[in-house]
Chain A
Amino acid sequence: MSEEHEEHHTNYVKIWAILVVLLAISVAGPELEILWITLITAFGIAFVKAYIVVQKFMHLGDAPKFVTYVMVTCLVFMMLFIAGTASDIYKSNGENWYKIESEWQYMPPVAQHDEGHGAADEESH
């Protein structure tokens, strides 16, 4: 750790101040109600903040390289998960199938009454 000693003298308060400013921007930005500004300020800044915390507070850079690779791999697998599932979960229709509107229930009126008790119970919780 001795050679990294320099780095640990980082002015953490300054970094914190930067984070707070970024927070303010990310709250203020979406108030403009312009889509791309919302996206950039809300989510772009979240990534910037996360990067700052990971690098400056968690000192990911000081750990051996493989630690970073592991973290990135985890994120990549999550991307992979979204890539593999979006066609079913995000999309409401696809090749030869479509999702029924939530209200739609192919259920006869009387039977719906029977079945409805369970559902009604759940709604009232």
Chain B
Amino acid sequence: MKQVFIIASKEFKAAFKDRVFLVITALFLLLSIISVYIGSSTKNAEIKAYLDIVALLKAQGATSFPVSPQLFPLAILQNIIDYVSIIGAVLAVFLGFDAFSGERENGTLKLLLVRPLYRDQLVTGKLLGGGLVIGVLLCVTLVFNTLLFSIVSGLTPTFNELSRLLVFITLAFVYMMIFYIVTLFVSIKTGDRTFGFLTMMVVWVFVSFVIPQLADSQRSFAYALNATAQTVTQMPSDTVISKGIEMFSPAVQFQNVGKDLLQVVSETAAMNVFDILSRQVLSLFYMLVPGAIFLLASYRAVQKEDVT
């Protein structure tokens, strides 16, 4: 176990020494902060505008008022779902793409493997190190944004909201780790780190954009004819094919669950965390499966590796 920690701590330190990684981390933080700040202040403006109108109507002697706009505080953080699923995934790729191929090109892989260290410990160490980096990053994001949100909006999160946030961060962690694991696998399998990196970029484009897009094109559009309003509206609805295509994209699954957790979907905004998780158990399953497969594959591939 000691060996694992030695490797993990080296990975952790190395990540924060890497300027490219730091740039993209900064980008990630900056985005989430901007989005929370703007989200909070527009919500404030919205509430204020509503109160103004009510006051005005009262002054005019009106008795019925427009319904208060539905405000779910966590929805302010909703852009973070996109950032994690897009930038977060790239971050994991940047973190892991040379984890093995880099060691191999450097010749340090040989130096590692002639030491009293099991090969699976090496993989575990790398995973732990990457996990630590991702974990720290997400925690910083969470704490920072929760604080910012409280300061700007003047709201304190309730227990339900806090638990949702925690579960969301855990989920984001798992999602990013899945990308890290797949990247690690590619890194073990490919000799050339540039090739590995680009392969992962292609995977990323597919998971985050192409598959959702394809699924979207397979939604059936019910044409609702409204004779009274004389309109024909398109109503997208999931079909078996669109669902089936989406199964292959952890990004879509992550977004599904994330939206529920961060109160983006009004139907589930009031539920408690466990109800949401049990509602989305299938999405969670689809998300975890590729991670598990590649995790096992990584351990196997390292055992088989011939170092020359």
The yes or no verdict on A and B being binding partners is: no
Q: Which residues of A contact B (CB under 8 A)?
A: none
